[in-house]
Structure 1
Amino acid sequence: MAPSGDLPDELPPGTRLGARYVVHKLVGSGGMSQVYLAEHESIARKVAIKVLHREPSRQPRVVLRFQQEARAASTVQHENVVEVTDFGQTDDGRPFMVMEYLDGEDLGETLIREAPLSWVRARPMLLQILAALQAAHDQGLVHRDIKPENVFRISRMGSDDFVKVIDFGIAKVLARDPVPGRRSLTLTGHALGTPAYMAPEQCVGDPVDARTDLYAVGVLAYQMLTGRTPFEGKRSDVMRAQVYEPVPPMASIDPDIDPEIDGVVLRALEKLPGERYATAFEFADALFQDLDLESSTLLPGLRRLFMRRRRRG
């Protein structure tokens, strides 16, 4: 059990965490954790600090999964993955992780306000997500919870649509674990994830791999371009549909969607993993077809990035 301590549930401005960080303000809160804007005192650098709530901090398995999130994200060193730089405990025993501070909004907020998005705008964001996932998959990690709320938009490289993949909280460590001694925290037979973005194999608790994440990117592309996910409703109904029902073509929602784009997205949404793209690289190749490199400031750099990583691979 965590020590009781005297810290309030919401850390007040000025609270010191570890020997280096000073809390400025609460910027977000969820069922399991809070996120604070803080500062690395020695170098005056803004950081985000994610702190587990008091009750989850008393559950060893939750704490272990929180540690896995920090390790997983810190393993994937990529410009489109949030950087995790430190890990520690508050004075009353609540674990915290220190991340780069992102000034922007998650893609979910963007879609609520602006969906559907144009293909010209959606494609560079999808390519960045795939670049981040390829880097994670190269490290033997499957994210398993790609959704708009876990894609964060910031302004960088001349674009307001530079994205960072966040929240590796339920990441699956594959058998070829690159970090000695790291445990997989997956519960066999349990479906972890967000139903609207879960692949069929994930819904039924079967083994997952990189193609599971690519299904979620397919759902995300579908939502960005149509304003809705393929299946909506109660959790159980959506999971059943993911397994058994065909995905309606995007053209059934918006007849103006290019059939070739529809086909690219629908391949990512195949029920059987073997019929989807095998890798994020392959999915990206399909997105790069007929590409006007002048349509986004990010696209030339993304193309060079994928080509360089492919040569190294």
Structure 2
Amino acid sequence: MTSPNSTQGLSREPFPTNDAPFPGPKGDQGVPYVPGLVLEGVVAEGGMGLVYAAREISTGRRVALKTLRACFAHDEGAHARFEREISFTRRVVHPNVAPVLGHGRMSDGRPYYLMELYRGRTLGAVVREDGPLSIGRALEITDRILAGLEAVHAAGIVHRDLTPENVLLTEEPSGETRVLLLDFGFAHEPGVDTGDGVTADSRGALVGTIRFMSPEQVTRGRAITAQSDLFATALLLYYAVSGKLPFRGEGDLDVAVATVRKAPVPLRAELRNVPRALDVLLSRALAKHPDARFSGAAEMRRALSGLRRPRAKAAGAAAALAG
């Protein structure tokens, strides 16, 4: 299951450059009007959401506009969830979280918000197209993910859908890679009523992307907390380095069962050059019970920094991680 408001493909090119009408996304009829903007084309589609490339008439600046599909224009529940996504995204101001530049309603009443129109690829696209990353680069990207999560969790929010398609890598003018967390469509505040009649961390519908869920998300037996995001971050790190996941199966159901019942396949079983300390870190972050994982993104980030320091001794780092 992927996020209904996925921004996968946000940076895809080429974009239309004229102001002429263009075909709407599959299943949508016509194009709504947004004051001050020219909508240039659809650059990403999800089950419920769309992302348009747009241009501000007054400045000529290119932006991305995220909204719901037209068929949800009068769906109050969908509006409430989307408005919650906007609220959550606006609350987090951090270099590793894609910011909201503005928000409002389209001519047909659908809520929308504006983001930068990034040029880059998702972590998933990079691994699929270029192959697994070096350990060093993967650790750097994971450090940035955790930095963003520190701010997200400090705002009282759990992302709940960290996948390779929700991590965007963009090249800065300096040549450095910027890492951005995208898509807060499944995010929630633990214990806070969502407006749908239930609390977001109560037992109920399966929410998230199955292959990147924590055991508590799969079983719905415990509250979804910051430690759930740390579990997903460990999955992202494993995937970035190997192109695989530590829990295996023929389909999503098999993977879900493995996530709950089986030990993760050690990364060293896939790659010989993996430091033992990295497997120790992953083992802790992938613990079945949330209390056995790192206490927060900051602690996991500190553990990760020991692996990134060139002179750190692997045995010492392993002992610290296991502690």
TM-score (ref. length: structure 2)? 0.80
Please name the residue that 1:271 is paired with: 288
Amino acid at match of 2:96: N
Q: Kindly indicate whether the alpha-carbon contact (under 8 Å) linking 2:191 and 2:200 is maintained by their aligned counterparts in 1.
A: no
Instruction: For residues 127-163 of structure 1, give each alpha carbon's deviation from its aligned partner in whole angstroms, at most 9, with x where no partner exists.
Output: 1100111100000000000010000011126345311
Amino acid at match of 1:163: V
Match of 1:286 among 300, 303, 312: 303
Secondary structure class of the residue paired with 1:262: helix
Amino acid at match of 1:283: M
Residue 29 in structure 1 maps to residue 67 in structure 2: no
Please name the residue that 2:277 is paired with: 260
Q: C-alpha separation between the residues in 2 aligned to 1:20 and 1:145?
A: 32
Unaligned ranges ≥5, structure 1: 1-6, 178-182, 295-313
Alpha-carbon deviation of 1:115?
2.8
Please name the residue that 2:166 is paired with: 150
Matched ranges for 1:45-194 at <5 A:
45-156=61-172, 158-175=174-191, 188-194=203-209
Amino acid at match of 1:70: I
Matched ranges for 1:232-247 at <5 A:
232=248, 233-247=250-264
Instruction: For residues 255-280 of structure 1, give each alpha carbon's deviation from its aligned partner in whole angstroms, at most 9, with x where no partner exists.
Output: 22111111112211111111111110
Alpha-carbon deviation of 1:174?
2.5
Q: How many residues align?
A: 282
Instruction: For residues 3-40 of structure 1, give each alpha carbon's deviation from its aligned partner in whole angstroms, at most 9, with x where no partner exists.
Output: xxxx97449999641x2222122212222122111122
Q: C-alpha separation between the residues in 2 aligned to 1:249 and 1:52?
A: 40
CA pair 160-27 structure 1, distance change in 2 beyond 3 A: farther
Please name the residue that 1:302 is paired with: none
Unaligned ranges ≥5, structure 2: 1-21, 312-323
Alpha-carbon deviation of 1:85?
2.3
CA pair 27-176 structure 1, distance change in 2 beyond 3 A: closer
Q: Kindly indicate whether the alpha-carbon contact (under 8 Å) linking 2:136 and 2:308 is maintained by their aligned counterparts in 1.
A: no
Secondary structure class of the residue paired with 1:137: helix
More strand by proportion, 1 or 2? 1
Matched ranges for 1:193-232 at <5 A:
193-205=208-220, 206-232=222-248
Amino acid at match of 1:89: R
Please name the residue that 1:305 is paired with: none
137-146 or 195-204, which deviates more: 195-204
Alpha-carbon deviation of 1:119?
1.1
TM-score (ref. length: structure 1)? 0.83
| Root-mean-square deviation (Å) | 2.5
CA pair 78-12 structure 1, distance change in 2 beyond 3 A: farther
CA pair 14-54 structure 1, distance change in 2 beyond 3 A: closer
Please name the residue that 1:3 is paired with: none
CA pair 30-269 structure 1, distance change in 2 beyond 3 A: same
Q: Kindly indicate whether the alpha-carbon contact (under 8 Å) linking 2:166 and 2:183 is maintained by their aligned counterparts in 1.
A: yes
Q: C-alpha separation between the residues in 2 aligned to 1:265 and 1:286?
A: 11
Secondary structure class of the residue paired with 2:73: helix
